[in-house]
Chain A
Amino acid sequence: MKGFTRFLIQRLIALVPTILGLIILTFFLSHVIPGNPALILGGQEVVENPTELHALEAELGLNKPLYIQFLIYLIQLAHFNLGFDYFQGQYIGHEIATRLPVSIELAIAAMVIGLPVAIYTGIFAALRTNKPADHATRVGTLLGISMPVYWIDLILIIVFYEYLHIAPAPFGQLSPFIKAPTPLTGFVILDSLIEGNLAALGSSLSHIILPAIGLSFAIIGTISRVTRSSLLDVINKDYMRTAFAIGFPRKILINKYALRNALLPALTVTAIQMGGLMGGVVLTETIFSWPGLGLYTYDSITNLDYGAIMAVVIVSGFLFVLVNLLADILYGVVDPRVKY
């Protein structure tokens, strides 16, 4: 355990330069792109009135040299102040705090749906290598990877909402007629459960299904392929021959002896995917009006809201690194050979 704490501390320290690099990169990138936030914020009035424009720029701190702006930003960041969002009329920190759980909830839902399917199809294909079932699975997963997510989402909406009327309208997390649960954790499903608000629970579950399915397509494709190839690898190992010679039942052979070895690479890929999803998925959230980080990113970019863009990138970058750290820790749980 001593080694483990050391490993954890080392990794957390290593996080600092990563995040710092991220901040520097996004700050300068977003400030270098042409466009004046003051113009967008002030609208028509300031375009015609240069004094007002300068005043607004000064208010936003845009008149200072870039490096000074950066230093101010860093100092503010050190105080956990991500800035103020003039368009939403809210502190960015607050905005992110309410939106982050929404995105994470969607990511988890996508994983819950996608992961079992991915692993099962991976095993299914691996045990039938070069047979029709294997080819079908591989083509299917390839389609999942290559079909654009917005297209899948639209098809899902057309089929399940438009034609079949099974799914609710693709607007947000809850039907407008249902009283939202008090936000305790920010996760709507969890909050409704805590509150015992069954109406909200049902509504939130039915709302999350379509976007989650849409998102899970890409996950299934990648993870299924990784599972297949690593399981094939493991099956040809000497220890599997030993287990087979002993005469274990098939179920034990695969589930207990092969799969655990095969899931290590899948774990890494899952972590990367999860990290990507948690920071918000712009397309899916925009299509389903999902009030998460993805939608916020989209809005901030159209508004050229430097503060918000930076905040989103930093938060999602941080989450990404964190999830990968979690995967590394899980590695040690799954594989006893891993030493910290």
Chain B
Amino acid sequence: MEEQINKPEAIGKLEHNYEDYVLYVDDLSIEYTLGKTRIFAVSHVTFGIRTNESIGIVGESGCGKSTLAMAIAHILPPNARVTSGRVYFKGKVVVSPEMGASYSIRYDRKERKIENQLSIVRWKGISVIFQGALDSLNPVHKVGTQLSDIFIYRESMHPEEAEARSRQLLAAVGLEDWVYDLYPHQLSGGMKQRVVIAMAISLNPALIIADEPTTSLDVITQYRIMEELLRLRKTFGVALVSISHDIALISRLSDRLMVMYAGILVEKLPSNSFDVAQHPYTHLLVNSIPNLEEDIAEVQPIRGSPPRLISPIVGCPFFERCDYAVMSCRDESAAVLRQTQPFHEVACSVLPIFASASVKAQKFRKRGAVENNVSDQAIVLEASGLTRIFEKRTGIREIATGESNKITAVSRVDLTVRSGETVALVGETGSGKTTLSRMLGLLDVPTNGLVKIMGEPINLKKRKEIAAFRKIVQTIFQDPFQSINPRFPIASTVAEPLSVNRRTTSDKSSSMNDRFQQHGFGSVLSQAENHEVMVLKALQEVELTPPEDYVEKYPHQLSGGQRQRVSIARGLIVDPKILIADEPISMLDVSLRAGILNLLRKLKQDFGISVLYITHDVASARYLSDRIYVMYKGEIVETGETEDLIRKSAHPYTIALLLASIGIEGSISEKLGERIFSQSESTDNKGCLFAPRCQFAKDICSAEKPELLQVSQSHSSRCHFAQDIQGMGLTEIKAKKEAS
């Protein structure tokens, strides 16, 4: 193939062929050099996009999807090298082994020459929507300047005209006019993302690449940005390549989907639905994510972890993790895309032949889990009126004027967790859920209110008293990469709570241990042995098997999922009654999340441990929990038994959250009005905190604060109109969907 391209007559022919494609990626391979290691990020990827088409590329982190996107835009870092293939933009080569795909601001004659060739493609042909929440915008220039500069320097436009155009653009993406004079740091994440979108459409490009356009935004904003992108696509008629690990989002945004794994395209789907997927990886990926609409089957984790790409992969990269693998999967031709149906290509030599029926049959097992009635169980963890107020640094002036600099992170929260129950706490970033978890985990002292463990009130100011409760409540933190000491072997990490809580743990293990301790030296040995047994047991419990293999490893040798298991093992080793899991899966790869979710489920079923699961994701909360608390700006706004709360939500915020998570086009703004998207910052509101964003808000809402009142048995909502709006969310949407 490559030899053909090099011949001049072949090029002419190819250009003719690729004419109807806006973009054609032909056999593209890219590798990075990091010191002496080579990373084979993208291998032999081929696909094309026609005018006005939208393609979504799904994959986990590290699968090479971002590299692919940045290569198309020719903005890879300098250590990336194109090893094979070409990218054609409207028949013109923009990326090739000779041209590379990297950029450099440094002075280099050769690169300047390439850059001159590319200047008509840059932004006028291909533009990029970067992750706006990160620092994609220059911090020292105003939003307006950054927008109008595009017109001034790329279109040689007069500054005044450029300003007018920029203001139009801001309006086009739904931003107010005053945003023009703000700096990026003064904008919220969603607003920044819109500015980035405005920049991307500024020069009417033929193709837009959206690289994780909504990651790290909260659910409702994500939904809004997605709607914005869909609308712009219609108005401007551009081709769109969007890249994300969020399966739900991407299928809503695209006409066609492609799935990427370990640097290759494993499946090209004919439509935006994953229902017809044939590749085992695609199946497993979809099945590993809990969803809100269907009845919950057990989500299935994908075993193992993605390959590290430091050597070229021969055959199917999914081989080690695949249930259907046969020996021929190791053949060089195993992972080549083959057409199985019109417009449907799969890089699997086994499964499509098997017919996918058998896989589908097991997809939706009804929720067979034991619906154990926990309401009569003893309360193990109870919070009443829990409040945490943070004070900003105050100077002499504040004290003199009595000006308050207080931020109420958590406000009068009542919460109970019963024995053997899993309770989910759902809320978006900044809602105070982590602060609450720290107080419940005895890591922070509340400003007001009481925490009771096993019915005993705890005075968090008395350190000695708390020590006794530490082994009853254990916390698992969000980031497994930072919550485990990289210099300790796994065994030490897991055993640490034992040595820290030595005095309190000894009373649990039999009196024999005490006797040993009286004998000095011997007891040390036996205690160490005892610890080892306990470590192995804990590792076994979190399914790190065989545990002996992990004991001497260091964190960097483990995957994110394994690290999070170590973190859970560390919590389990003191035999706690309550486990507080603060966003345990949000930092993990998609395929590893299901494993942790199932583990938490198992802990509850097999050991009767109560779990407080803290998350921003309603679907996983539903999957895991018996009851849900929804938190908004430091307050619990709704609580109830999981299915009841989701089907008959009685608070507008919960409804918005659910609709955004399901994300049917137009559903939120239709139901809840545009105001839901406004970002109100007023926390000193006398009335309902959600009122500024609520369509149903009446005068009473801004004047009187609603209390958390029962709407039905064990279902309460903090809304004046709870009864009226109850059930507006999911049930209705579902009915609507079925009707259509």
A interface list, Cβ under 8 A from B: 6, 10, 126-129, 235-250, 252-254, 256-258, 260-261, 334-337
> Given A244-B75, A258-B105, do A252 and B153 touch, yes or no (CB 8 Å)?
yes
The binding surface of chain B is classed by DSSP as loop
Across-interface contacts of B128 in A (CB, < 8 A): 242, 245
- Of A238, A247, A258, A337, most buried by chain B (CB within 10 Å of CB) is A247
Question: 25 A-B pairs, CB-CB below 8 angstroms?
Answer: A6-B397, A126-B106, A127-B106, A127-B107, A129-B106, A238-B135, A238-B136, A239-B135, A239-B136, A239-B138, A240-B105, A242-B199, A243-B138, A245-B127, A246-B123, A247-B118, A252-B153, A256-B149, A257-B138, A257-B141, A261-B138, A334-B140, A335-B140, A336-B183, A337-B183
Which 4 A-B pairs have CB atoms at the shortest separation, nearest pair first?
A247-B122, A336-B183, A239-B138, A127-B107
Does A241 contact B135, Cβ atoms closer than 8 Å? no
Q: In this assembly, does B333 line the interface, its C-beta being within 8 Å of a C-beta of chain A?
A: no
Across-interface contacts of A235 in B (CB, < 8 A): 105-106
- Of B106, B118, B150, B199, most buried by chain A (CB within 10 Å of CB) is B106
Across-interface contacts of A249 in B (CB, < 8 A): 153
Partner of A238, one of B130, B141, B149: B130
Q: In this assembly, does B581 line the interface, its C-beta being within 8 Å of a C-beta of chain A?
A: no
Does B134 contact A238, Cβ atoms closer than 8 Å? yes
Chain B interface size range = 35 or more
- Of B73, B107, B154, B397, most buried by chain A (CB within 10 Å of CB) is B107
* Whole-angstrom CA separation of A178 from B199 in the bound complex: 62
Known: A335-B139, A337-B139, A337-B183. 16 other contacts (CB 8 A): A128-B106, A128-B107, A235-B105, A239-B136, A240-B105, A242-B130, A242-B136, A242-B137, A242-B138, A242-B196, A245-B128, A246-B123, A247-B123, A248-B154, A257-B141, A261-B140
User: What's the nearest-Cβ distance from chain A to residue B215, in Å?
Assistant: 14
Across-interface contacts of B142 in A (CB, < 8 A): 336
Across-interface contacts of B124 in A (CB, < 8 A): 247
Q: In this assembly, does B103 line the interface, its C-beta being within 8 Å of a C-beta of chain A?
A: yes
Nearest-neighbor residue (CB-CB) of A336 within chain B: B183
Nearest-neighbor residue (CB-CB) of A253 within chain B: B105
* Whole-angstrom CA separation of A258 from B139 in the bound complex: 10
Partner of A239, one of B75, B118, B119, B139: B139
User: What's the nearest-Cβ distance from chain B to residue A312, in Å?
Assistant: 33
> Given A10-B395, A127-B106, A235-B105, do A248 and B153 touch, yes or no (CB 8 Å)?
yes
- Of A235, A243, A258, A261, most buried by chain B (CB within 10 Å of CB) is A243
* Whole-angstrom CA separation of A127 from B112 in the bound complex: 13
Does B153 contact A260, Cβ atoms closer than 8 Å? no
* Whole-angstrom CA separation of A129 from B196 in the bound complex: 30
User: What's the nearest-Cβ distance from chain A to residue B157, in Å?
Assistant: 14
Does A336 contact B139, Cβ atoms closer than 8 Å? yes
Q: In this assembly, does B734 line the interface, its C-beta being within 8 Å of a C-beta of chain A?
A: no
- Of B73, B105, B137, B153, most buried by chain A (CB within 10 Å of CB) is B105
Across-interface contacts of B397 in A (CB, < 8 A): 6
> Given A260-B140, A261-B140, do A247 and B130 touch, yes or no (CB 8 Å)?
no
User: What's the nearest-Cβ distance from chain B to residue A288, in Å?
Assistant: 39
Q: In this assembly, does B185 line the interface, its C-beta being within 8 Å of a C-beta of chain A?
A: yes
* Whole-angstrom CA separation of A335 from B139 in the bound complex: 8
The binding surface of chain A is classed by DSSP as helix
> Given A239-B138, A335-B139, do A246 and B105 touch, yes or no (CB 8 Å)?
no
Does A239 contact B137, Cβ atoms closer than 8 Å? yes
Partner of B140, one of A126, A242, A247, A336: A336
* Whole-angstrom CA separation of A253 from B107 in the bound complex: 12
Scan B699-722; emit 1 where CB is below 8 A from any A CB, else 0: 000000000000000000000000
Across-interface contacts of A257 in B (CB, < 8 A): 138, 141
Nearest-neighbor residue (CB-CB) of B118 within chain A: A247
Nearest-neighbor residue (CB-CB) of A243 within chain B: B138
User: What's the nearest-Cβ distance from chain A to residue B113, in Å?
Assistant: 13
Nearest-neighbor residue (CB-CB) of A242 within chain B: B136
B interface list, Cβ under 8 A from A: 73, 75, 77, 103, 105-107, 112, 118-119, 122-124, 127-128, 130, 134-142, 149-150, 153-154, 183, 185, 196, 199, 395, 397
> Given A6-B397, A127-B107, A252-B153, do A245 and B75 touch, yes or no (CB 8 Å)?
yes
* Whole-angstrom CA separation of A10 from B398 in the bound complex: 13
* Whole-angstrom CA separation of A144 from B135 in the bound complex: 36
Does B135 contact A237, Cβ atoms closer than 8 Å? yes
* Whole-angstrom CA separation of A243 from B118 in the bound complex: 15
Nearest-neighbor residue (CB-CB) of A337 within chain B: B185
Nearest-neighbor residue (CB-CB) of A263 within chain B: B140
> Given A247-B119, A336-B183, A337-B185, do A261 and B105 touch, yes or no (CB 8 Å)?
no
User: What's the nearest-Cβ distance from chain A to residue B563, in Å?
Assistant: 27
* Whole-angstrom CA separation of A68 from B77 in the bound complex: 68
User: What's the nearest-Cβ distance from chain A to residue B572, in Å?
Assistant: 40
* Whole-angstrom CA separation of A337 from B136 in the bound complex: 15
User: What's the nearest-Cβ distance from chain A to residue B137, in Å?
Assistant: 6
* Whole-angstrom CA separation of A88 from B142 in the bound complex: 56
Across-interface contacts of B136 in A (CB, < 8 A): 238-239, 241-242
User: What's the nearest-Cβ distance from chain A to residue B241, in Å?
Assistant: 14
Nearest-neighbor residue (CB-CB) of B77 within chain A: A236
User: What's the nearest-Cβ distance from chain A to residue B67, in Å?
Assistant: 13
* Whole-angstrom CA separation of A79 from B369 in the bound complex: 87
Across-interface contacts of B75 in A (CB, < 8 A): 241, 244-245
* Whole-angstrom CA separation of A26 from B648 in the bound complex: 77
User: What's the nearest-Cβ distance from chain A to residue B23, in Å?
Assistant: 15
Across-interface contacts of B199 in A (CB, < 8 A): 242, 246
Partner of B154, one of A6, A126, A246, A253: A246
Nearest-neighbor residue (CB-CB) of B202 within chain A: A246
> Given A127-B105, A335-B139, do A247 and B134 touch, yes or no (CB 8 Å)?
no
Across-interface contacts of A243 in B (CB, < 8 A): 138
User: What's the nearest-Cβ distance from chain B to residue A10, in Å?
Assistant: 7
User: What's the nearest-Cβ distance from chain B to residue A206, in Å?
Assistant: 37
User: What's the nearest-Cβ distance from chain B to residue A193, in Å?
Assistant: 35
Partner of B149, one of A126, A236, A250, A252: A252
User: What's the nearest-Cβ distance from chain B to residue A293, in Å?
Assistant: 35
Across-interface contacts of B149 in A (CB, < 8 A): 248, 252, 256
- Of A10, A239, A256, most buried by chain B (CB within 10 Å of CB) is A239
Does A244 contact B135, Cβ atoms closer than 8 Å? no
Across-interface contacts of B107 in A (CB, < 8 A): 127-128
Nearest-neighbor residue (CB-CB) of B183 within chain A: A336
Does B185 contact A336, Cβ atoms closer than 8 Å? yes
Across-interface contacts of A238 in B (CB, < 8 A): 130, 134-136
Across-interface contacts of B119 in A (CB, < 8 A): 247
* Whole-angstrom CA separation of A127 from B185 in the bound complex: 28
> Given A128-B107, A238-B130, A238-B134, do A261 and B154 touch, yes or no (CB 8 Å)?
no
* Whole-angstrom CA separation of A252 from B395 in the bound complex: 42
- Of B130, B138, B154, most buried by chain A (CB within 10 Å of CB) is B138
> Given A238-B134, A257-B141, do A244 and B103 touch, yes or no (CB 8 Å)?
yes
Across-interface contacts of B112 in A (CB, < 8 A): 250
Does A247 contact B154, Cβ atoms closer than 8 Å? yes
- Of B103, B124, B136, most buried by chain A (CB within 10 Å of CB) is B136
User: What's the nearest-Cβ distance from chain A to residue B171, in Å?
Assistant: 21
Does A241 contact B153, Cβ atoms closer than 8 Å? no
* Whole-angstrom CA separation of A7 from B384 in the bound complex: 41
Across-interface contacts of A254 in B (CB, < 8 A): 105
* Whole-angstrom CA separation of A302 from B130 in the bound complex: 65
* Whole-angstrom CA separation of A195 from B106 in the bound complex: 49
> Given A246-B199, A337-B183, do A261 and B139 touch, yes or no (CB 8 Å)?
yes
* Whole-angstrom CA separation of A254 from B104 in the bound complex: 12
Nearest-neighbor residue (CB-CB) of B134 within chain A: A238
User: What's the nearest-Cβ distance from chain A to residue B634, in Å?
Assistant: 24
* Whole-angstrom CA separation of A236 from B79 in the bound complex: 12
* Whole-angstrom CA separation of A247 from B75 in the bound complex: 11
Does A245 contact B123, Cβ atoms closer than 8 Å? yes
User: What's the nearest-Cβ distance from chain A to residue B631, in Å?
Assistant: 29
* Whole-angstrom CA separation of A258 from B104 in the bound complex: 13
Does A245 contact B122, Cβ atoms closer than 8 Å? yes
* Whole-angstrom CA separation of A127 from B77 in the bound complex: 15
